[in-house]
Amino acid sequence: MVRLIPRETKFFDMFAEVANNLVSGAQVLSDFLHHYDYQKLPHMVEKIKEIEHHGDEMTHRILVKLNQTFITPFDREDIHMLTSSLDDVLDFIYGASDRLLTYKITTPSPSAKVLAAIILKQSEELGKAVSMLGRNGRLMEHCVEVNRLENEADQVAREAIGRLFDGGHDPITLIKLKELLEILETATDKAEDVANVLETVVLKNA
């Protein structure tokens, strides 16, 4: 059967750009937490803010194209959900960096570094998965890994928050460090949401 009106495949390239931008944001945060320098914190936050702003622009372009496209490569609601969920991960990455600055956190919990590394790994897996949209590939394997990493992050965050309450921190510092850990852990939840959307797309189009 000849398709008289071809589906718009530009979406796949646009999603890949969004995913690559997400990896960039996650890389900046992870690198900074691994080599923490409070004096350079404002510069790092500004860098992630620029990446997040670029992500917002790309998200807007996808949604505009969605409204202009007659036949999409997969369900419109899934395109919208995938776009929004990818954007959410980057929002929380920026949120974590902003908390470091706003709360003047000079020494983050060591587990913040671990969680940032997990977010980076998830982002890289999502980038690989998104690159396989529209092609035969082992997309689902990357989604499973994102889910596994989210479970790992849950455990890290729970144990880290428990240690905070045993660590003799003053109440204000404890609240700051706890909120940072929770925002980082939420970013891993949002990455899992992206993986779930991707799995839905694969199953619907199998």
Question: d(Cα 140, Cα 155) in Å, to the nearest integer?
Answer: 23
Q: What is the DSSP string of 152-195?
A: HHHHHHHHHHHHHHHTT--HHHHHHHHHHHHHHHHHHHHHHHHH
Question: d(Cα 35, Cα 54) in Å, to the nearest integer?
Answer: 25
Ramachandran quadrant class, 168 (left: phi over 0; alpha: psi -120 to 50; beta: rest): left
**First vs last Cα of the chain: how many Å apart?**
18
What is the pLDDT tens value at each position of the chain, 206 positions in all? 334 344 556 899 999 999 999 999 999 999 999 999 999 999 999 999 999 999 999 999 999 999 988 888 889 999 999 999 999 999 999 999 999 999 999 999 999 999 999 999 999 999 999 999 877 678 999 999 999 999 999 999 999 999 998 877 899 999 999 999 999 999 999 999 999 999 999 988 87
The domains located in the chain, with CATH, are 10-204 (1.20.58.220)
